[in-house]
Amino acid sequence: MGQDQAMTFRWGGAALCVGSILLALAIIGYVFIYGQPEASGADGVITLDDRVNHLQTNWNFAQAMWRIETVAIVLLAVAGFVLQHQNWNPGDRTSPRFAWSLMATGAVFLFMLYPLMLGGYPEALRNYETEPGLMAVLNSIAYFVFYFGSATMFLGLATVFTLGRESNGGIPSWLAMTGIIVCLLGFTGMVGSLFGYSKITTLAPFGVVAYVVASYLGFSIWRMGIQTDS
C-alpha cells in the first residue's frame, strides 16, 4: 500500500467512524430526548397537528439535531466517495467499490433532507394556521427522502459488510455478520416505511447498532492506514 492510499484510508476511515457515531447518537437523541408527539387522532393516530405542535415545542433541539446529522451525512458521503477509489478488497474476492458508491449515493440523497427541514420547516410553521398544506407537502417529501436515502445507505453498508466478513485487516466475521443483519433489517424496514408497513421508531435499535458497527469498520480502516504509514 502506497503513501497516497494510506492517507486515503486514514481520511476515509476517520470520516466513516465519526459520521457513523454522530448518526448513532442522533438516533438516541431522537428517541430519548425529542420523543414522539402525543397522539390526538382516532385510535391513537398521530396527526399532522400533533407533529407540528411537538416540533414547535422542541424546535431548538430539532434544529441542533438536524445540523449534527447534516455533518454526519456529509462525512459518510465523503467516506464512500473516497474509499470507492481505493483497491481495498476486504474479502480478497470482490472489490467493494460499488458498495461504497451505493452508500455514498444514499448519503447524498439523504443530504437533501436537511436543507428542506432547516430552511423549509420554519416558514411552514409560521404559516401553518393559514397554509397547513405547505407543512403537509414538506413532511411528505421529507419522509420519502429519509426512507429512500436511508434504505440506500443501509443496502450499501450491508454489501460492504458482506464483502468484508473474511478480511484479514478488516473487522471480525461475527461483527461483520452483525452489520449485515442489522443493515438488512434497517433496509427492509425503510422500504416497508415507504409503503406504510412499519414505523420509524421500531427501526431505531437497528440503526444504532448498524452505525456503531460501521463506526468500528471506519476505525479499522483508519488504523490500517496508520499502521501502513508508520
Report yes or no: 150 and 110 within 8 Å, Cβ to Cβ. Answer: yes
Greater model confidence, 91 or 66: 66
Report yes or no: 195 and 217 within 8 Å, Cβ to Cβ. Answer: no
Q: Provide the residue range defining the domain that includes 188.
A: 3-229
CA–CA dist 111, 72 (Å, integer): 10
User: What are residue 22's phi and psi, to 5 degrees?
Assistant: -60, -40
Tell me what pLDDT residue 92 has: 46
CB atoms within 10 A of CB 159: 21
Q: Compute the half-sphere exposure of residue 185: CA atoms within 13 Å on the CB side of its CA.
A: 18
Tell me what pLDDT residue 156 has: 93
pLDDT at residue 166 greater than cutoff 70: no
Classified as helix, coil or strand, 189 is helix
pLDDT-above-90 percentage for the chain? 55
pLDDT at residue 169 greater than cutoff 80: no
Q: For residue range 74-124, what is the model confidence (pLDDT) as tens digits?
A: 999 999 998 887 655 444 444 567 889 999 999 999 999 999 999 999 999
Tell me what pLDDT residue 196 has: 77
Q: pTM above the 0.85 mark?
A: yes
Number of structural domains found in the chain: 1
